[in-house]
A and B are shown apart, each in its own frame.
Chain A
Amino acid sequence: MSSTTLTRSLRYAESEVIAYRRTWRGTVITSFVNPVFFLAAMGAGLGTIVDDGTGQALSIPFITFVASGLMAANAMQNGAGDGSFPVMAGILWRKNFHGTVTTPLGPADIMLGRLIWGVGRLIFVLIVFAVIAVLFGALEISEALVAIPPAILTGIAFTTAISAWTLTQKDGRSLSTLFRFLIVPLFLFSGTFFPIRNLPDWIEPVAYVTPLFHGVELVRKFALPGIDESTTMPTWIHIVYLLVMAMIGIYFSIRLLDKRIRQ
């Protein structure tokens, strides 16, 4: 065999890049315009009230707090988006995956190729966000840069886990449910907009087991080390949590795609 899993995965990623050349305009809204809106509303708008109110709300400006959290939350949303609708399209709506497996490529090449491309897109989206955050004065350039790798890890964990989940779904109806009842609550209650300690005591442990909490914490521990708002949980726990989630996601997405195609 002349080809390896890596070269075959890259071939698949190449087809995604070609498709993206045609569809990138549509994604500019989510990757560029949304962050601007959020930073403007939350940081510049709401932040003014928060910071001026008691004066003691946070140890850092509210916009800095929110921008760092949004790095991870943004990665989650992009990862979840990438792992849901395009996967359902490939297996059910457009059936591209069924065609691809009649070529030398197999299910593992498809899923790994999607992941390679997904990481590329995350890098792009997060750099755009980082630049905007710097322009808003929310983050220093150095802070924004170190925030990117942990945010990418967060995005990978979500894209792989949600790819696997999508492959367990019969049709696309459950996909919007996923966003409504999982992604949106995670977005709101994982420490992106306020520290977890501000939640009622009984709900705090719930937040600790959710994946975005670990993404947000990891980004802040990298970009804004030592701030009061971070938990005392060791950094490695966040990394291990997200890595394990990603590996389980990769393993099951390949297995489930294989099973679904072969039936």
Chain B
Amino acid sequence: MAATTVIRLMTEALVQARGLTKRFGDFTAVDAIDFDIQKGEAFGFLGPNGAGKTSTMKMITTVSPITEGKLTVFGIDPTLDGRSIRQRLGVVPQEDNLDLELTVAENLYIYGRYHDMKKSEINPRIDELLEFAQLSERRDSEVEPLSGGMKRRLTIARALINNPDLIILDEPTTGLDPQARHLLWDRLYRLKREGATLVITTHYMDEAEQLCDRLVVMDQGKIAAEGSPRQLIQRYAPREVVELRFEEGEKDNAVLKMDGLASRSEVLADRVLLYTDDADATQRGLHERGINPEQVLVRRSTLEDVFLRLTGRGLVD
């Protein structure tokens, strides 16, 4: 009996969704998706705005009820006992909702209290988290004058106050400048190394590639693909990409002559992408056919290419 229980605990996913659906009236935001999030992994939801990522997060955090299907978080049904789930969650919402009337430390303190922690437990935890978020010097300052990056780090620190078993980050770096993003990634990396389970939504390819062990690509409420960033690139995109830019008006003509030069091509508003396993051969072919782009760039495939392949359109930033 004890042995079977142990096995069940080890194999059971922290979050399990089967046919998970969210509808708002006639609009289906999340359309019967399946996924499992295992303990200790960084799991990503990648997709454009409106793909259903945030709706999925809201169902996991028990804030939004599911319309159909099955969802368990820590093995608990959110419709039956959302509070027990939230007790063990750390949530970083898409929009900062810090309490502007409180100081940096007080923002952490009240969330500790909401989680029913004792003052004596909370205070050392605040010191630790401010250190982690590199905000120790701003401990007693107000929240309003903090930079966007600092506010985000404070929001993450606030989500960690209760030592959560699962940390949900909804577009954690949207709207931050590159420096602030990198600092934030560094902090999230540290959490990962310490064994935290992270769920991250993002529409940044580099973010998904950097942080996620495994991810699903969402589009129009459905899961278009699932795997590690490497696996997805291998599966959906040839090794290399030749990016071509043309002078005004020459693009359409050139495209007509490109047939057979690459395993797949993508004509975007500003450039043409040729997916190929041999970029040199493709470039030679262009030259032989008398196609003379204004600019040629050869690069390795990225998640963005996977995304274009899967959804047939660029990301809406």
Contact = CB atoms under 8 A, between A and B. Distances in A.
Contacts of B64: 262-263
B114 A1 contact: no
Contacts of B24: 263
Counting contact residues on chain B (CB < 8 A from A), the size range is 20 to 34
B91 A94 contact: no
Counting contact residues on chain A (CB < 8 A from B), the size range is 20 to 34
B147 interface: no
Contacts of B278: none
B114 A12 contact: yes
A15 B113 contact: yes
Given A22-B102, A103-B86, A104-B87, A98 B93 contact: yes
A23 B114 contact: no
Contacts of B100: 94
A79 B162 CA distance: 34
Interface stretch (B104-112, B195-203, B222-230, B257-265): B104-112
A94 B86 contact: no
Contacts of B65: 262
Given A18-B106, A18-B109, A95-B95, A104 B101 contact: no
Nearest to A20: B101
A12 B110 CA distance: 8
Interface string A13-37: 0110011001100000000000000
Nearest to B85: A104
B287 interface: no
Contact of B89 (A14, A102, A106, A261): A102
23 contacts: A3-B116, A11-B110, A11-B114, A18-B109, A19-B101, A19-B102, A94-B97, A94-B99, A95-B95, A98-B95, A99-B93, A100-B114, A102-B61, A102-B86, A103-B111, A103-B115, A103-B162, A104-B83, A104-B86, A104-B116, A106-B82, A262-B65, A263-B24
Interface of A: 1-3, 7-8, 11-12, 14-15, 18-19, 22-23, 94-96, 98-106, 261-263
Interface of B: 24, 61, 63-65, 82-84, 86-87, 89, 91, 93, 95, 97-103, 106, 109-111, 113-116, 162
